Amino acid sequence: MTGRPHEDGELLLREIGAAWAKTQQHWHDDMASSFGRSHWTPLIDESRSYLRALGEFMELLTAAERETEY
Amino acid sequence: MADIHADIEALKELAGALTRYRHAQREVADRGDYQIAATRASLEEKASQWRSLLARRQADLAACQHATATDTEAGGHPGCHAEAAAVREAEERIESIRRWQQQVEDGASAFVGPSSRFRNLLDVDLPRTEHHLLAIIDGLEAARGVRAARS
């Protein structure tokens, strides 16, 4: 990972999403539905929330550095 | 045979992917925290440099004003406009940096909640999810009489 932290995090989120989609091709019983509701959705929602906040904060930090370069 | 247990293999792959995700996102979070600390330090360093510069410029202005007063008595009056402008510039830079420092602190305060929840997700919830998945795999293998090596 060599990009900005939130961009790398978004990439990881897409990768784990692809892994889950692949799993769902072979696992789609009641247990899978329960796992999706109780574990997967909270994981993705919390990850998205964090990465959005991180991205906004990184923008602010970049602006702070840029605007104080005299 | 492979198709019959495709779900088990898929779950093992998912468990591995979740473990890698947890480690990689922790690194992302660490890098985010490092960036915050680096920017705070950078802004403080800039503020410190401008405060030093301000002190020098104020001294230059005072020296100029003293010389001007002496010259005025002697009939000359070169003025200290450049020195005064330099002092004002330094004051404005310091104030600008102070405002950015405040914005960064406000941003950091707003970031504490999401960051803390994400750390908790990585350190507590995700390991539980991984254990839960492994238990599901164990259950499926036991029910089918499968005892494959765990990847």
Q: Tell whether B104 is within 8 A of chain A (Cβ).
A: yes
Mean per-residue pLDDT over chain A, rounded = 95
Question: What is the token pair recorded at A55?
Answer: 């991205």
pLDDT at A1 over 80: no
Q: Which of A10, A11, A23 to mutate to test the interface with B (most CBs of B within 10 A)?
A: A23
Integer Cα distance of B29 and B120 in angstroms: 12
- Stated pTM of the model: 0.87
Contacting residues of A for B7, CB less than 8 Å apart:
26-27
pLDDT at B76 over 90: no
Contacting residues of A for B27, CB less than 8 Å apart:
1
The pLDDT score that the predictor gives to residue B79 is 85
Q: Tell whether B121 is within 8 A of chain A (Cβ).
A: yes
Residue B102, Cβ density class (10 Å: 0-12 exposed, 13-18 middle, ≥19 buried): exposed
Integer Cα distance of B89 and B57 in angstroms: 10
Instruction: Name the residue facing B25 among A9, A19, A27 (closest C-beta).
Output: A9
Report CB contact under 8 Å: A68, B39: no
| Mean pLDDT (whole number) for B84-105 | 98
Query: Nearest-CA residue of chain B relative to A12?
Result: B21
Mean per-residue pLDDT over chain B, rounded = 92
State the count of interchain CB pairs (< 8 A) between A and B: 121
Q: Three-state DSSP class for A48?
A: helix
Report CB contact under 8 Å: A65, B39: yes
Instruction: Identify the CA nearest to A19 among candidates B130, B125, B12.
Output: B12
Predicted confidence band at A3 (pLDDT cuts at 50, 70, 90)? confident
**What 8-state DSSP symbol labels residue B123?**
I
The complex's ipTM works out to 0.94
CA geometry: angle B73, B57, B105, nearest 5 deg? 145
Residue that has been written with the tokens 């009641």 in this structure: A30
Report CB contact under 8 Å: A54, B111: yes
Query: Nearest-CA residue of chain B relative to A45?
Result: B118
Q: How far is A65 from chain B (nearest CA, A)?
A: 7
Report CB contact under 8 Å: B25, A47: yes
Percentage of residues in chain B with pLDDT exceeding 90? 81
Predicted confidence band at B151 (pLDDT cuts at 50, 70, 90)? very low
Query: Nearest-CA residue of chain B relative to A37?
Result: B129
